[in-house]
A and B are shown apart, each in its own frame.
Chain A
Amino acid sequence: MIGVIKRISQKIFRTIFRRRDNLKIGFYGPPNAGKTSLANRLCKDWTGEEIGTVSNIPHETRNVQVKEKVKIEHNGKNLTFKIVDTPGIATKIDYENFLSFGLKRKEAKKRAKEATQGVIEAIKWLDDMDAVIVVLDSSENPYSQVNITILGNLVARKIPVLIVANKIDLKRSDVKKVSAAFPEYEVVGISVKEGTNMDDFYESLFKLAKKA
């Protein structure tokens, strides 16, 4: 009950005092979906600097990373917002999985420990978001409970959502399956790696910002 009252009062406070050029847009999703790659692309294109490092080893992002005042211009429209790139949300973390990527045991254990804390941090930040981009790997099964839990929590908090189905350059990519899994959300398929469909992404991003 106290949590609900706190959330409502935070929402009212944010609505009254938020400046339109200070939106906080969170990047959420499971590990290795391309959250930091997408955040990096936006940051690099519009601020000249990247937000974080990317890697094929899961849980590369283990802390919430923030980039202030990212100003985007697209088709004569402007949008200034804060990018909040979060660690991938998972229900299991096994340090032994990192060993297969060539990490030493000590290094893998450290990574696993930081990753668990990163997941907790990412969930805690949910309350602070004005809008969220959920980044999914379109070549993976979208019906994972992590995806459903993230979206359920955003709905419960009344936070506007855009689903980005990344990695459409992969053979196994299936954007239609992502759309079918989440028919009540707007889904835009892109490839951050190859820069495919970024125009559609920007259109959807402006629409998302309007709802926030």
Chain B
Amino acid sequence: MMIRKGVKKVRGLSLQVIPYSEISGLGIAERVKKILNLILSNKIVILQGRLRAEEEARLIEDTMALVDHVRAFKGIELAVIEPDLRKSNVLTKMRHNLARRLVGDSNCLTVIGPAAFIKEIKKDPKKLELWLG
């Protein structure tokens, strides 16, 4: 791989995919702890599904507490990509709602990474772009 002059090489970064089944049985504190432990070891987490709103809030709270206490930890970048159902017909929406009730939001993908490595996650409704820096 060729690295252009002046482009900073990102070292020690890996991706970890967490299937929905791995977190479905965990409580809010355990889920957030599991994610933050991976982030602290410089991993980008790709989570099948999404956290509930209160879990996302808890993730932000715990992240801020860590920024305050862990040297060189600057926080996280977080984005969720999910199917856009706004223009779908009623039947499709019902199917998605039923699936969500049965197996949670497993048709979404959540990307969470350390802010020290991910400069920005650009999101429009249909795609995510990770800007590493």
B-facing residues in A110-124 (Cβ within 8 Å): 112-113, 116-117, 119-120, 123-124
**Complex interface bits, A72-106 against B, C-beta within 8 A gives 1, otherwise 0:** 00000000000000000111111000000000000
Cross-chain contact B79 with A145 (CB below 8 angstroms):
yes
Cross-chain contact B115 with A91 (CB below 8 angstroms):
yes
What's the nearest-Cβ distance from chain A to residue B111, in Å? 9
B75 CB contact (under 8 Å) in A91, A120, A155, A156: A91
The stretch of B14-22, B58-66, B94-102 in contact with A is: B58-66
- Interface residues contributed by chain B, number (CB under 8 Å): 26
Chain B residues with CB below 8 A from A197, complex form: none
Cross-chain contact B122 with A141 (CB below 8 angstroms):
yes
A56 interfacial by beta-carbon distance below 8 Å: no
Task: Using A116-B64, A149-B57 as known contacts, say yes or no to A91 and B76 having CB atoms under 8 A apart.
Answer: yes
Give the distance in Å from the alpha carbon of A148 to the alpha carbon of B65 in the complex.
21
Cross-chain contact B56 with A117 (CB below 8 angstroms):
no
A-facing residues in B13-64 (Cβ within 8 Å): 52-54, 56-57, 60-61, 63-64
Give the distance in Å from the alpha carbon of A180 to the alpha carbon of B53 in the complex.
21
Task: Using A92-B74, A145-B123, A149-B53 as known contacts, say yes or no to A123 and B115 having CB atoms under 8 A apart.
Answer: no
Cross-chain contact B122 with A112 (CB below 8 angstroms):
no
Chain B residues with CB below 8 A from A93, complex form: 64, 67, 74-75
Give the distance in Å from the alpha carbon of A94 to the alpha carbon of B77 in the complex.
12
What's the nearest-Cβ distance from chain A to residue B129, in Å? 11
Chain A residues with CB below 8 A from B57, complex form: 123, 126, 149, 153
Give the distance in Å from the alpha carbon of A107 to the alpha carbon of B60 in the complex.
24
What's the nearest-Cβ distance from chain B to residue A174, in Å? 13
What's the nearest-Cβ distance from chain B to residue A54, in Å? 22
A195 interfacial by beta-carbon distance below 8 Å: no
Cross-chain contact A123 with B60 (CB below 8 angstroms):
yes
Chain A residues with CB below 8 A from B80, complex form: 145, 148
Give the distance in Å from the alpha carbon of A191 to the alpha carbon of B131 in the complex.
31
Closest to A112 in B: B67
Give the distance in Å from the alpha carbon of A116 to the alpha carbon of B115 in the complex.
14
In this complex, the member of A93, A124, A183 whose beta carbon has the largest number of chain B beta carbons within 10 angstroms is A93
**Complex interface bits, B97-133 against A, C-beta within 8 A gives 1, otherwise 0:** 0000000000000000001000001111100000000
Q: Can you list 19 A-B pairs with a CB-CB distance of less than 8 A?
A: A91-B63, A91-B75, A92-B77, A93-B67, A94-B115, A116-B68, A117-B64, A117-B68, A119-B61, A119-B64, A124-B61, A126-B57, A143-B123, A144-B123, A148-B80, A149-B57, A149-B60, A152-B53, A183-B86
- Apart from A93-B64, A144-B123, what 15 extra A-B contacts exist at CB < 8 Å? A91-B60, A91-B76, A91-B78, A92-B76, A93-B75, A94-B74, A116-B67, A119-B60, A141-B122, A141-B123, A141-B124, A145-B80, A152-B56, A153-B57, A183-B86
Interface residues of chain B, those whose CB is within 8 Å of chain A, are 52-54, 56-57, 60-61, 63-65, 67-68, 74-80, 86, 115, 121-125
Q: Which 7 pairs between the two chains have the least Cβ-Cβ distance?
A: A92-B75, A152-B53, A92-B115, A116-B64, A149-B56, A94-B74, A116-B68
